[in-house]
């Protein structure tokens, strides 16, 4: 056995895609956001896309830190406005590939308006929504994705509000690609990110992630490894499942898979077409 080695000594295959001056990251042991970043890095490696043309945007929260760790052009924006910033970047320079990586509290609750309307206009973005059922960075408050009757710091008698169903919301608003995976389905998640990246239009990949420090500790569900084991035992892959059935109940089965894959004209495409038509007339 060798002795403990230093951080700089060895080169991880993902080191080229990460800002190494910021690693190790701040996420807790047992958190699944690092897995989502790994899957994203793996997807970028598979795509072999020019990294100068990839922009990562994130909002505020635990998952909002992702933009700081990925070595592409990246923006750490105001709370909930990640998609709004990304829309501006995409329309300002349509050659760029814009990816929004943010949490459920940022995208679905505070930025819910932007989420819905970016999907409606079908702006060419890839959204990776890391769902850990809670506002983790601010201390474990109840989020719009918290299942009934989970305990949080602001729902000491259990949550009674109906949780948001992210794939259904995305499909109803008009997203062209909707998938959901847990933090354990790493290869499928990476493949899904590759597919979403290549799809013109608004594509959403939801990643169910364990929150070891707030969600599972308050609810006495064990640590990150226990949550992963729960996903291992209770996630069911059903491609093409109707998004009506995708509500996540407390500690019940989680349906994962690719649910929506359809074609709609993307925003920039329809904008150009419209302007061209106008000029011809």
Partner 1 sequence: MRIRNREKPFGIEKPVTARGQIVIIEDRCKGCGFCIEYCPNDVLRLSDKYNSKGYHPPYVAHEEECVDCGFCQMNCPDFAIFSVEVESGEREPAPAESVKR
- Point out which span in 74-82, 136-144, 200-208, 220-228 binds partner 1 (CB under 8 A): 220-228
Q: The tokens of 225 are what?
A: 């490894």
- Point out which span in 14-22, 93-101, 104-112, 233-241 binds partner 1 (CB under 8 A): 14-22
Strand partners, 206: 129, 180
Q: Is 105 in the site for partner 1 (CB under 8 A)?
A: no
Q: Is 92 in the site for partner 1 (CB under 8 A)?
A: no
| 32 in Cβ contact with 209 (< 8 Å) | yes
Q: Is 70 in the site for partner 1 (CB under 8 A)?
A: no
Q: Is 228 in the site for partner 1 (CB under 8 A)?
A: yes
Q: Of residues 18, 91, 148, 172, which one binds partner 1 by CB under 8 A?
A: 18
Q: Is 47 in the site for partner 1 (CB under 8 A)?
A: no
From the list 201, 192, 171, 166, the residue with the least C-alpha distance to 257 is 192
How buried is 249 (Cβ within 10 angstroms: 0-12 exposed, 13-18 middle, 19+ buried)?
Answer: exposed
Q: Is 29 in the site for partner 1 (CB under 8 A)?
A: yes
Q: Is 234 in the site for partner 1 (CB under 8 A)?
A: no
Task: Please give the full DSSP string across 72-100, using - where no structure is assigned.
Answer: SEEEE-STT-HHHHHHHHHHH-TTSEEEE
The residue among 225 and 236 lying less far from partner 1, judged by its C-beta, is: 225
The residue among 232 and 274 lying less far from partner 1, judged by its C-beta, is: 232
| 259 in Cβ contact with 177 (< 8 Å) | no
The continuous run of DSSP H or E covering 237 comes out as strand 235-237
Q: Is 231 in the site for partner 1 (CB under 8 A)?
A: no
Site for partner 1 in 151-190 (CB under 8 A): 184, 186-187, 190
The continuous run of DSSP H or E covering 177 comes out as strand 177-182
Judged by the rule CB under 8 A, the positions of this chain that interact with partner 1 are 1-2, 4-7, 9-10, 12-15, 18, 23-25, 27-35, 37-39, 42, 184, 186-187, 190, 223-225, 228-229, 232
């Amino acid at each position: 056995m060798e002795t403990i080695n230093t951080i700089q000594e060895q080169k991880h295959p993902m080191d080229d895609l990460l800002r190494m001056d910021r690693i190790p990251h701040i996420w807790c042991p047992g958190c699944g956001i690092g897995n989502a970043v790994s899957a994203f890095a793996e997807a970028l490696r598979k795509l072999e896309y020019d990294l100068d043309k990839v922009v990562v945007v994130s909002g505020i929260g635990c998952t909002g830190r992702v933009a700081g760790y990925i070595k592409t052009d990246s923006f750490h924006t105001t709370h909930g406005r990640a998609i709004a910033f990304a829309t501006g970047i995409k329309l300002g320079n349509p050659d760029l590939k814009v990816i929004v990586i943010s949490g459920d509290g940022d995208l679905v609750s505070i930025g819910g308006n932007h989420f819905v309307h970016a999907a409606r206009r079908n702006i060419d973005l890839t959204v990776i929504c890391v769902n850990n059922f809670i506002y983790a960075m601010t201390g474990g408050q109840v989020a719009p994705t918290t299942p009934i009757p989970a305990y949080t710091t602001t729902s000491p008698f259990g949550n009674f509000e109906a949780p948001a169903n992210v794939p259904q919301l995305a499909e109803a608003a008009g997203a062209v690609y909707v998938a959901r995976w847990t933090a354990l389905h790493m290869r499928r998640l990476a493949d899904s990110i590759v597919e979403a990246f290549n799809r013109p239009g608004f594509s959403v990949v939801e990643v169910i992630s364990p929150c070891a420090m707030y969600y599972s500790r308050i609810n006495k569900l064990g640590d990150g490894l226990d949550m992963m084991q729960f996903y291992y035992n209770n996630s069911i892959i059903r491609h093409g499942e109707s998004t009506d059935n995708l509500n996540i109940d407390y500690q019940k089965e989680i349906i994962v898979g690719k649910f929506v894959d359809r074609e709609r004209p993307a925003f920039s495409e329809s904008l150009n077409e419209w302007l061209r038509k106008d000029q011809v007339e």
